[in-house]
Amino acid sequence: MKKELLMGTALISTLGAASVAEAVTATMSGNHQTGMEFDSPDGGTDTNAQINDNNFTVSLSETTDGGMTISSSFKLMDENGSAGDLDAGFTLAFTDGSKLDVLNAGNASGSHAVSIPGSAGAEGVATTSTNAAQTGLDFATGSTVLGVEYHTASDFVADGLKMSFSASTDSGAANTATYRVDSHMALGATYVTDLGDTAVTIGAGYSGVDGSKTLTAVTNDTNGYHVGVSAVTGDLTVGVGFANGDKAGVNISSADEITGDVMKAGVKYVTGDLTFNVGVASGDAKDNTIGSSGGNDDSKDVTSASVSYAVASGVTAILGYTSLDASDEGAATDGGSAWYIGANMAF
């Protein structure tokens, strides 16, 4: 009985101490975007659908007596039933301006991919699942949840330079017939400078990923690099980027390997309450079943544009258009166009 009383007293004391401790600082942000997409595939039937993108994020942070900030966040997502992003780790921001992301930290190469202007709408044209062509600069940036990423302070080594390094280890997931990422190492850098009235941003990164699967040997793991440049002069933004790499575990079966490259370019212009975006993306890939060689050519050529109008503070109306030309295994397929009209409310 004495032991139970002591345990009960200790529990009450602990809860009492916790109840009077200061809470961390919490902030909330998010958006509600909804609209209609009108899809016109080549050789198919026109369709339309309501597209929602609703996000609610809670950010938490606190600063220690030594000046280090500890932060984390989680995202709750919309009425469509998505569980949200609940697997964020922690970020430790140090007094010298550097910081360390711990757990599910991501890939340092992807962190420095330059944003290239394109349509702000939510439209898109679907392609066959066997088309392995990529259209993102960060397509070769895998990682596991057991990872960290270190970010240097600004002006690292040289004025305007900032770098990142990331690594992850085997997540412990069971090895199956589907390709899984076992580990990665990556480097990324961003350099910002002024050329007269123009602010120039250069971003680049390299990532190497090791993975495995049962039954068939993996001959090419995911490895790749990207480089991009963005220039801002007043209300005009121009961006261009290029990426090249090998990627394993693509498409529905996760049983393919690809060698591919991506080129993206875009322009954004702001005048008053209006924002005009135009972008192009071209991706080419040669895909094989894991363990084989040779391969056939896949491609995607995307052109997109949008007009956004700031209706009120935090409220933006969007009209977007996307056109796609695609080929799979060297034969034209799944091209088409799509329109989007909707609005976004951010808080």
3-state helix, strand, coil in the chain (%, to 5): 5, 55, 35
CA 116 to chain centre: 13
CATH assignment, 27-346: 2.40.160.10
Alpha-carbon span 15 to 191, nearest angstrom? 49
pLDDT digits (tens, 9 = 90+) for 151-203: 999 999 999 999 999 999 998 888 888 888 999 999 999 999 999 999 999 99
Tokens of 250: 């693509």
Relative to beta strand 198-212, strand 90-93 is unpaired
pLDDT in tens, 10-35: 434 444 444 445 689 999 999 999 99
Instruction: Give the DSSP letter of residue 150.
Output: E
Write down the H helix ranges in the chain.
Answer: 2-20, 108-111
Q: What is the pTM of this model?
A: 0.85
| Neighbouring C-beta atoms of residue 141, cutoff 10 Å | 29
Where is 75: in which H helix or E strand?
strand 69-77
Question: Is residue 88 scored above 90 in pLDDT?
Answer: no
